[in-house]
Structure formats: structure tokens, C-alpha cells
Amino acid sequence: MREIEGTYAKTGGINRLNVKGARQGKMPTTFSPMLATLVDKPISQAGWVYEPKLDGIRAIAMIRQGKVTLLSRRGLDLTAQYPNIVAELERYSDRKLILDGEIVALDAQNRPSFQLLQQRLGLSTKSDIGRAELKYPVIYYVFDMTYFDGSLLLGVPLAQRKELLTRTIRPIRAVQLIEYFQGDGIRIFNACIENGMEGVVAKRLDSIYEPGKRSRAWLKEKATNSAEFLIAGFTPGTGARSSTFGSLVLGYHDERRHLQYAGRVGTGFDDKLLSEIVKRMRPLKAKTNPFLAKVPISSQIQWLRPELVAEIKFAEITNEGRLRAPVFLRLRDDIAPQDVRRVPELSTEEV
């Protein structure tokens, strides 16, 4: 706390933040969150902190003029879907704040469960949302703050942003501060995995906040490889899946925004998921190949406009950009199709 004690100066009845890197400015009306770069194994270095990687939905909370707005990573308004979170953030309605965090549903063992969170996605009526609030409660875990009462904090080091966040937000029920740890990064990573987390996000304490950028100052460390890909088509199903599909044809954007082939995925689906995906694909059918080059598949393909984003688990990505042993995990409506690029994996030797 000592670093930011005495950092407020009263000017014209307004509390000005006097912290190195803070800059006075109007509160933005939109905000793109900073993203982490995937690494090939966990790190352990001085000057870094380690946060549990939560399996939820990234959300930006914007609080101003007595109003709370929740935005997804791609800028979609989530406010109406999570009234309990909004109600608790309204405790800060006399402030002007931008918070960064993750909306998470917990299972009976208090472990993040995206499967439970999925029951909350896409609900629109007050009655459905109200029932879901009771059956599938959610928590907003806040891990950063980028605007504070007239001051942009983008240039403030992470260590000080976290101190200011801790002084500002008081955890209660549906709004919590994420825990973070310092020390042996390998042991912290292993402990997170043992406790049912996806992995760890390692963050450099002296790092600034870079909106919309996938930064090497934040590193995503996961026990299993997974990433987002575009669904660009599907092959016919046979047997029990003759009415749905056999496999999904996957792709990603290259540096020139061309669609490149990443392989096919035919596992990871149950009957409910198969039906949902078929329904979502139906209006996207197209007559032409959306890829830059011919796809090396002998099966018949029904092409799609590449607008659906799927998260896929895999063993590795080859030098040609193809997936080995892919397994479908879920659709990702919180990620914009244009943001799907080849996985920017970084060797820890480069950190």
C-alpha cells in the first residue's frame, strides 16, 4: 500500500490521482481488453505474479453516472444477463471506473465450470434470467482496473493498478477480487491444475495495460492446448450422425486476413451439442470455398460463411498450421470471427 499512499490531490472538488503513468482524461465509451500470449510451458521468474486461469467469460465493467454496463471481449452488452453482478457493482455508482475481469460459474466443488456458465448464455427474458440466477449463480472475478475517477491507468504499472484495485473494490458475494501469487511459478501452476483450474496467467509486475493487444507481458500457461478456430464448413455424417455432420472444417486468419485451413474435428460432441451446432450453421451455408487455397479433403464439404468460432483442444499445431488430435470443446460467441488468428505460441526461452 505504501506506493500509492498520499496519491490523491483535491482539485476543484475532484480527487485527482497522482501516480506515475496515470493520465487525466475522459472515460472511454468502449474498451478492448488486453490479451495474454500462450507459452509452451510455465515460467518462474522474479518480478512476475501468477493468477489462476478461470474458465469463464471475459467481461469489462464500466461504471459512470450511476450506471453499470458489462461488455464482452468483443463489445457485446451483457448487462441484462447478469443482474446480480450489476446490482453489486452499483455500490460504486458514485465513481467512474473501468474494471477488467472474468464471469465464472462454480460447481459443487467451487471450481469454475464453463458447462454451468453455458446455461446462462443467450438468455433474453427476465423470467429466464431470474431462474438462471437462482440455479446457476455467477461471480465476477476482477483482476485489473484501467480507469479511476478521471484518470486513465493504462500507463500505470500492474503492481500499482492492483494496489489501487484492492483499495477500491470490496469483495462481496457476486463481485470478488482474483487471488494472485508470487514465488515459485512452477509450483503455483501445478497447484492451480490440482485444484481444477485451466492453468495460470503470469503477469509482469512492471507491465502497462495495452488495450486490444496480445502482449508478452501477460503469459497464458495451460495444462492442455486449446485455441479458437473458425468453422468454415462440415462433412456429411454417417450412421447415428447421418442427420447432423461428420466433422467440422476449421480455419484461422493469417497475417493478410486470408482464411487458412487448420484441419477437421469430429469428436467432442454429444447429441444436444450436435443439434445446436446444426441449427447455428444452417443460415451460414455458402456455395464457395472460403479458404485461400484448395482444402485437402476428399469428402464432400458443405461450405459455410466463417462466422462461428469454436474452441478446440489439440495435441499440437504442426508447422503447416494443422491440428493434431483435435477435440471440440464449445462455441465461443464472446470472440469476434475477425479476431481468430493462428495461435501465437511463444517459447519460454524467449521470455
Per-residue pLDDT tens over the stretch 276-289: 999 999 999 999 99
Domain that holds residue 184: 23-222
Q: With bands split at pLDDT 50, 70 and 90, how would you rate the model's confidence at 296?
A: confident
Determine, yes or no, domain membership for 264.
yes
The closest alpha carbon to 161, from 121, 218, 93, 104, belongs to 218
Residues 265, 192 share a domain: no
Residue where a domain terminates, one of 172, 200, 222: 222
Q: Specify whether the CB–CB gap between 179 and 104 falls below 8 A.
A: no
Residues 174, 35 share a domain: yes
**Rounded distance, CA 232 to CA 286, Å?**
9
Residues 214, 111 share a domain: yes
Residue where a domain terminates, one of 152, 187, 222: 222
Which helix (H) or strand (E) element contains residue 168? helix 158-168
Question: Which positions are annotated as active-site residues?
Answer: 53
Question: φ, ψ for residue 346 (rounded to 5)?
Answer: -125, 130
pLDDT at 348: 62
Q: Check whether 197 has a pLDDT greater than 50.
A: yes
Residue where a domain terminates, one of 206, 222, 238: 222
Residues 324, 243 share a domain: yes
pLDDT at 40: 82
Residues 235, 215 share a domain: no
Q: Check whether 8 has a pLDDT greater than 50.
A: no
Question: Mean pLDDT, to the nearest integer, of 83-112?
Answer: 94
pTM: 0.83
The total number of structural domains that make up the chain:
2
**Rounded distance, CA 61 to CA 218, Å?**
20
Question: Mean pLDDT, to the nearest integer, of 97-105?
Answer: 97
Residues 67, 118 share a domain: yes
Residues 213, 84 share a domain: yes
Tens of pLDDT, residues 178-194: 999 999 999 999 999 98
- CA distances 307 to 184, 187, 228, 233, 338, Å, are 41, 39, 12, 11, 9
Q: Please, how many CA atoms are within 13 Å of residue 228, restricted to the half-sphere of its CB? A: 16
For a pLDDT cut of 90, what percent of the chain falls above it?
A: 72
**Rounded distance, CA 151 to CA 15, Å?**
10
Residues 259, 194 share a domain: no
